[in-house]
Amino acid sequence: MFIAPVAEAIIGATFFSRHISMTDIEKPTNFIQQIITADLEANRVSQVVTRFPPEPNGYLHIGHAKSICLNFGLAEQFGGHCNLRFDDTNPEKEEDEFVQAIIEDVRWLGFNWAGEPRFASDYYDQLYSWAIYLIEQGKAYICELNAEQMRDYRGTLTEAGKNSPYRERPAAESLELLEKMKIGAADEGSMTLRAKIDMASPNINMRDPVMYRIKKMPHHRTGDKWNIYPSYDFAHGQEDAIEGVSHSVCTLEFAANRPLYEWFAANLPLPSVPRQYEFGRLNLNYTMTSKRKLKQLVDEKHVDGWDDPRMPTLSGLRRRGVTAASVREFCNSLAVAKTDGVVDVAQFEHFIREDLNNNAMRAMCVLNPLKVTLSNYPVDQEELLSAAGHPNRGDLASRQLPFSRELYIDRDDFSLDSTLSRKKFKRLVLGDYVRLRGGYVISADDVVTDSSGEVVELICSYVPGTVGEDPPEGIRPRGVIHWVDANNCVDCDLYLYERLFNVPAPGAGEGSFVEQINPESLKIIRNAKAELGLGSAVVGEHYQFEREGYYCVDSKYSSSEKLVFNRTISLR
């Protein structure tokens, strides 16, 4: 589904704020840590303040996790704090559902933010006042070019733009029109507020960018109060200044926006002057992280919602059974650099397996049941066998395994071909022995078939006294197989997940990315047989189904009537 360590370890799991001396801080290992260390040593900043500023227009995905860990981790390392702030400047695409999902995801990762969550909409009045200030200073104007005309006037990467015919509009007239926009007396698309910078700038972002546009739609927090909304570029840096952010850390696609970020800081009476720094974003092969395309997958029902376990969203990973610790450790391993790159999804899988191998309880589940009757075991006898909860974790409770005359083993663990070598088939064949995991040694004596010749039952014998003991001389089991007691087990459905896409770079090249969806990304197994103790399994617990993979209880479809387990990841 989804990394081998690259050197880097800066992130912790929780927020704290305290005075901390430079001697307390570990040696910087990436360029942002080096910048912060130098700023503190030179007294350019007295406290490190970072922020994680998602737009609530979708669910967070694995790419966001790197930014979350970096921003919260830097604040923790340097004794500062990190704000959670929603850049909710586009009511067209934003919903409270996304706000709540983002809050849950950040908490799940183990991070706490300073104070309450913040919102761009908290600062709308102040931003509007600063817009008026720039108009009064002759540094902003109301433009009545429509969208197509604005594109024509903007120029290209090789040709300078042209000044808008409204660029020299008197400040008083622009102020009057801005108020008209605000109260809803102007039509959408009829005018915008633009900063007056330089239409000949080689950086297109500096060619009189839009600060406010008319959008006559309610906002999920402010309702119908506003008919105009600030652009991200105008709002973002000013939000940082209001919150006293010392180091505004974002991904490389915002590098071209930094001159504009700094222009607003230089031309407004801000309470503080933040600085922006960019780092390479996390890109994974076989993974789609475009929120627009993820939304398309949801809207067109190619997946089972934003939290589908095949999705790269944090809620999808959580539902699949990926642990927060493995996501943090993966992000900690990534280089914080000034270049983008693509990381092999197998490296993420490395951390998932490592964490689950160390912490997941062991259990047995038979995916494709084949009945076994032990002809020499007493008909009315039952016993409880004890098995370790984890082979290397004495702190985890042992399991009690019911054992009786009738069992289930996996159909793939038996073959009619008794000529198969022990090296090639370490399972059960007629006339030979295997050991049941944590139980007795058994031998296959005969088979029962149906009218089509398919084997429907094995008649076997058990070897007494072999639980935890070597069998008598002359009996050498071919291998060890898993099993459950037929009369004391739990029926469950298993959802086996694979990668959602079957190409390394979904969306690249010709054709729609939807055509690159892996048709084998989900296989459902009905009525698997699990050991009795799994009947009390709950959401949030992780299990290694021995010899099968790592599983968790599905939070959406599992119920008291029918347990549903999701396969998080296969064994190596």
Give the tens place of pLDDT for each residue, 90-148.
999 999 999 999 999 999 999 999 999 999 999 999 999 999 999 999 999 999 999 99
Quick one: pLDDT at residue 6? 30
* 3-state secondary structure at position 153: helix
Could you please state the CATH topology (level 3) that the domain comprising 490-569 is classified under: Ribosomal Protein L25; Chain P (2.40.240)
Quick one: pLDDT at residue 73? 97
Confidence of residue 3 (pLDDT cuts 50, 70, 90): very low
Quick one: pLDDT at residue 27? 60
SS3 content of the chain, % helix, strand, coil (to 5): 30, 25, 45
In angstroms, the CA 520 to CA 269 distance is: 57
Which of the four CATH numbers 3.30.420.40, 1.10.1040.10, 3.10.20.810, 2.40.240.10 does domain 367-488 have?
2.40.240.10
Distance of CA 44 to the CA centre of its chain: 35
- Residue range 300-312: mean pLDDT, rounded: 97
- Concatenating the DSSP letter of every residue in 234-302 gives HHHHHHHHHHT-SEEEEEGGGGGGHHHHHHHHHHS--SS--EEEEEPPEEETT----HHHHHHHHHTTS
338 carries an active-site annotation: no
Which of 167, 169, 180, 281 is catalytic? The answer is: 281
> Does 10 score more than 80 pLDDT?
no
Quick one: pLDDT at residue 392? 95
For domain 123-232, the CATH class is alpha beta
Asked if the 22-117+235-333 domain carries CATH number 3.30.450.20, the reply is: no
Which of 224, 221, 248, 253 is closest to 236 using CA atoms?
Answer: 248
Could you give the dihedral angle defined by the CA atoms of residues 327, 328, 332 and 336, in that order, rounded to the nearest 10 degrees? 80
Which of 85, 213, 291, 435 is catalytic? The answer is: 291
55 carries an active-site annotation: yes
State pLDDT tens for residues 144-160. 999 999 999 999 999 99
Confidence of residue 2 (pLDDT cuts 50, 70, 90): very low
- Which pTM was predicted? 0.91
- Residue range 460-487: mean pLDDT, rounded: 97
Quick one: pLDDT at residue 331? 96
167 carries an active-site annotation: no
> Does 4 score more than 70 pLDDT?
no
- Residue range 360-368: mean pLDDT, rounded: 98
Q: Where in the chain is the domain with CATH 3.90.800.10?
A: 123-232
In angstroms, the CA 128 to CA 295 distance is: 32
Q: Where in the chain is the domain with CATH 3.40.50.620?
A: 22-117+235-333
Range in 167-171, 369-373, 392-396, 408-412 with the lowest mean pLDDT: 392-396
Angle at 382 between CA 547 and CA 426, to 5 degrees: 25
